[in-house]
A and B are shown apart, each in its own frame.
Chain A
């Protein structure tokens, strides 16, 4: 198991390098010029100097290697310095955003908590809703509950988050006025009132994403439970007189959870992608919104870094899902 994990970890390095190269080359085709916003009266040689100052004067491969070094070598050093108060990164060039002229990672760190709160919470809520629904609809297959559950999950799966989000805003913000339609990130939670306000503004985005996630996971949970409910060991467990509760919630559930857990792990990075849209709907200034503004502002280093962070998340969670599957299912041996 350990050798498998290490092998996969080592293998993910070339994958990530290749992905970063793909993203880099794609962005290389960008027509925009970062000095286009400067006045036309600037002499060409000054413009050239400006471009060099942004790190654009050099050939392709040099810039790519520089980006790799900055991302994988300098930025971790900054992190270490920040945590331990050391000075490894002193005087080294960090990844700089063209938009704000400040280090990209600092902005990402600023934006991360909002995304993690909204997206993370919604994923947890989604999973918590999905599991009981999936279990119950499989156990009572073709019952009314199953029919409704399957329909609702199909609905949640089909209705795009940008419509559910807007619909909720129409109903709960415009008509009823219960929840604010805009997520206020400047809110500091230090009292009971603030906490309630924070809760109120989180309800809608969390619900939208949770519904979408729950729909997918409950479908998997139901299918996986159905696969297991007809197995021989279930009959055996019933035959030896175990209570129905123990049969379903211990024997069947444990076996059906194996594929579902990996699906849950695989879904985490997709949630960050989906959050791009939900953040836009509710004006949460998280990572997704940062990406959209960076794309609109032609801020290539920012786009490159953010897209690559998403890629890292995907590769990482694929790895976690594979390892988890091996850990949970003793029939699978990777060695």
Chain B
């Protein structure tokens, strides 16, 4: 393939491939190229399809598309058959023969593979009719569905890089950065800083040798968030396109993607995409004849949460220990190698081409006054429809959790939703009608963060959640500043003590004290927001703290020393399942008669509670720490 020399070359090529590759009569879309799908066996399904189509002599007559993540992780691997618009979920290797024989050849619908709505119990046929997708606005993730992430041609065919050609053809760099500013796009990594302003300051920052950097933050460290991984795995070119446009606006010649090493598939797809873009002349010297040159390097992270912070990330890129520095000189002025650097998140870059395609006005129509556009959330935890959801800013939490997420599984009661990772907070049921945008979430004591949304039900202990986050932050604090290093450690100790049953009421005051000082004194955002998980749980779930301290009881059955298991005699059928599974032989009883748990022997591992099919194992208050 020859390099495109001008923007016109690229547009000619786009027309050529769209006409040469018309939509075939039947196409099968399989979500293969994503870590979660592979985990669910998508590769074997894809291989089975290949074999089956070959043996049926259908090779070449049917287009098979291996896409990245389709978002609905609960029912992966997903197979979509067009134009009949049939979506099959949880497809296994064994189903393939039947799908090809009946659906592909004869157009029959296999009822058993259709998606079953957990609320109504109805079987639903097409993707558009599934409630999970109905309320979403999939501007960014939607493109995953028509693209094989390993093919740049697919991306171009789907309209990719048209925002780039439009930019290079007729938009001046100053005009471009002003457009981004006007669009109201705010950083999707967590801080929510206006992207346009950042680009303008980076562009205007004085620089002796004229070298500026565009950096993509793909160090998605927030536990519970994986939208950046999904974009990089499913549509890496959208990020590359955003970065090239940014570099044009800022006047940067070099770019970096700092990606987590825990995401090997994302790194692989990114590298493939970069070499394809380079081959097509979309990266390198004199891009499409515009005179603008830009190259992108990939750096793998080495497993440090704090490296998601801008100055720490840049230190890490320089090969140093990833410790943040105080930001009296901003990174847009002196960042990587002391040169002006603009750091944006993966999702932010994916939004850039969308703004250019829709136009500033079109983009501003989505979202609320202060937060424009859509946001991707990873809806996980105790929820029926786990997956990645892309919603317009301003939607309520209730809509996300109940309409899109399908509610809480197993008839359990909703307790809280946690947003923003370790820097965020827990939002209780009474605030579910809160509209989701940067400012409203902050007011509620949480943050938007990078988009993790972890749903918790009655089996989740909120003190334990606070302890979990504090433990996480304690381990990830880089240790440079005292407030964060010592503050997180002390809070973790106190929370650990409360969870073990040794807490005092004064502990809560100490916690509140530390929480008050931390945000004002910590060096970087990790420490400044470290109080949020504790503050929000103390604010909304204080009763759980007092219950742990005064009654020595963890009603969720999580804090092991603060409860015991007991078998309800009336519900136990004597099936012996629990006694067979118990690793410490604490359960005794005859067949078909009620069993008994010996509290002295029981290690409270929870196997019996988990395995009992009749709900006979109960959590009982002991009144004192065991």
A and B associate in one complex:
no
Identify the A interface with B (CB < 8 A).
Answer: none
